[in-house]
Amino acid sequence: MKTHIIPEYCVDIDEDRCNRCKACIEQCTYGVHHYDVKKEAIISRSEECVNCQRCVVFCPTEAITVRKNRNSYRENNHWTQAMIVSAKRQAETGAVTLVGMGCDRPGFTYWDNLLLNASQVTNPSIDPLREPIELRTYLGKKPQKLNFAFNGGEAALATELAPQLCVETPILFAAMSYGALNLNAHQALAKAASELGTYFNAGEGGLDRRLYGYGEHLIVQVASGRFGVHPEYLNIGAAIEVKIGQGAKPGIGGHLPGDKVNEDIARTRMIPPGTDALSPAPHHDIYSIEDLKQLVYALKEATDYRKPVAVKIAAVHNSAPIASGIVRAGADILVLDGFRGATGAAPEIIRDNVGIPIELALASVDQRLREESIRNEVSLIASGGIRNSADVVKAIALGADAVYIGTAALVAMGCTLCQRCYSGKCPWGITTTDPEISRRLNPEIASRRLVNLVRAWSMEIREMLGGMGMNAVESLRGNREQLRGVRLTDTELRVLGVKMAGE
């Protein structure tokens, strides 16, 4: 069948600048470029280009330009180019359209409608260059009240504290599995988390034994496929996360394509190499809140009640009552993953239509848990679509204790959001599991980039906190007085629990 799909991008090579070094041929994993001996020139097949910018960055003479194809269908405000392409692709394949990364459509980001406060005159701002500003955060259940035992002049804490995760900055690396990412990427995250005093989440797929040494900074995930989950693994991690749902694809499972399942990944997941790793939509031992409680406590039993257990859900319509149920099921940490949350592979239609924005879900969950007087029973991690330090600060003001970053971490390592993670061809060497292409990602350098990013954000967070006159991130948590909304309806402001700017 002849394809009716026109190329999305055009690759232009400036013949005068090109020195025929063929670096572009070497770098492109999609086979866009080839050398025409007769013409003595590089010829590019634009239809294969995903605009990952790898060849552009590696061209020594800056001879390559990748641009959006000026040709397009006659799109209109209802039938966009992307919708026409998607329908045509489905007509040609009869299959579900797969995408990588988070929803890229406009209109679902509330961070940009929220603005932060700063001190002027009446309360002095704090200069983070002169004064310490505390970002350390403890994640886990907090007691209703503290009891002390007094012995003579000495006081000792008598309340038994639940296990906590201690993060030096309220930013953790989100669950990204071994298989979705390769070993080098996992190692970079592990190294960076160790250096920063935070945690990386291995996602559903276990952890290669070569990385077990990073266990103190590891959150292990237990999801519906139970890949890579065994007692030793549960015990090397600092915390356990039960994944119920994911913002990029609420309500459905996940399939790691067999092309990405090499021998090491197959061993770690305990599945035959080359087969799809199938994570079904539900956990088949969890059909209710009571069942969830059973798994939470099975995990606590298996780890002697020494590790916090997190439960991750996608932000959906009834997140608030669901969250209440999860807290009552014994979760120590609740992870809310919003509509913008990314993934290595999801059906496009699910990613772009199912779930709700993290900002609204976070605000309503925090509010509900407060109303029920159980907010102290759980720490909240907001996830999905955090792009910079301001998003972190706004999330904390809306009620989060900390955030997960996934896409931002990948971008730090080299990702250019070409959205083809499922193809196994990641030209930046992050999501490919091909041993040759994986070598492009040096874990040392990638880890340095991650550390730099989080340090820079942490400095900015201190600046913003200081500006609001706060010397600890704790003072900001759920402090919606520090937020004002713009371009929002009364209903949106009510759900966010935020006043209009100027009010």
Partner 1 sequence: MSMSSHVPLPALKKSLSVINAESLDRRVLNSFLKRVAAEGVGKVQIHNVYGQRYIGTGLNNGLEIEVHGTAGNDLGAFMDGPSIVVYGNVQDGCGNTMNNGLIVVHGQAGDVTGYSMRGGKIFIRDSVGYRAGIHMKEFQNTRPFLVIGGSTGDFLGEYMAGGVILVLGLNSPHGEEFMARFVGTGMHGGLIYARGEMRRVGTGAEISDVEEDDMDQIEGLIKEFCCHFAFDSDGILESTFTKVIPSSRRPYGNLYAR
Query: Which is closer to partner 1, CB of 80 or CB of 90?
Result: 90
Q: Which of 190, 201, 198 is nearest to 166 (CA)?
A: 198
298 binds partner 1 (CB under 8 A): yes
Residues binding partner 1: what is the number (CB under 8 A)?
44
**Least distance to partner 1 from the beta carbon of 101, Å?**
14
Q: Segment near partner 1 (CB under 8 A), from 136-144, 221-229, 315-323, 495-503?
A: 221-229
String of DSSP letters for 11-50: EEE-TTT-----HHHHH-SS--EEEETTTTEEEE-GGG--
301 makes contact with partner 1 (CB under 8 A): yes
Binding mask 118-137 vs partner 1 (x if CB under 8 A, - otherwise)?
A: --------------------
Q: Which range in 120-128, 140-148, 180-188, 268-276 contacts partner 1 by CB under 8 A?
A: 268-276
C-beta closer to partner 1: residue 5 or 417 = 5
Residue 485 Cβ vs partner 1, minimum distance, rounded to whole Å = 39
- Give the C-alpha distances (Å, rounded to integers) separating 378 from 133, 139, 162, 457: 24, 8, 10, 25
The answer to whether the CB of 468 falls within 8 A of the CB of 117 is: yes
Are β-strands 254-256 and 499-500 bridged in parallel, bridged antiparallel, or unpaired? Answer: unpaired
Q: Are 370 and 497 in contact (CB under 8 A)?
A: no
3-state secondary structure of 214: helix
Residue 229 lies near partner 1 (rule: CB under 8 A): yes
The smaller minimum CB distance to partner 1, of residues 170 and 344, is found at 344
Q: Give which of 200, 201, 193, 169 is closest to 396, Cα–Cα.
A: 169
Strands (E), 315-430: 333-337, 346-347, 379-383, 402-405
Q: Using an 8 Å Cβ cutoff, are 337 and 383 in contact?
A: yes
Stretch touching partner 1 by CB under 8 A, among 178-186, 270-278, 405-413, 477-485: 270-278
In three-state secondary structure terms, 490 is helix
Q: Is 81 in the site for partner 1 (CB under 8 A)?
A: no
- Closer residue to partner 1 in complex, CB, 102/485: 102
Closer to partner 1 by CB, 230 or 487: give it.
Answer: 230
Q: Which residues contact 187 (CB under 8 A, 6 or more apart)?
A: 210, 211, 443, 447
Interaction of residue 97 with partner 1, rule CB under 8 A: yes
| Interaction residues for partner 1, span 345-374 (CB under 8 A) | 345, 347
Max CA pair span of the chain: 94
With binding defined as CB under 8 A, does residue 90 bind partner 1? Answer: yes
Residue number with CB closer to partner 1 (227 or 428)? 227
Distance CA 265, CA 228 (A): 9
Site for partner 1 in 403-432 (CB under 8 A): 422-423
| Residues 170 and 401 sit within 8 Å (Cβ to Cβ) | yes
Which stretch, 34-42, 56-64, 280-288, 465-473, contacts partner 1 (CB under 8 A)?
Answer: 280-288
Judged by CB under 8 A, the residue of 60, 143, 274, 321 near partner 1 is: 274
**Residue numbers at the binding site for partner 1 (CB under 8 A):** 89-90, 92-93, 95-98, 225-227, 229-232, 234, 255, 258, 266-267, 269-272, 274-278, 280, 284-285, 294, 297-299, 301-304, 345, 347, 422-423
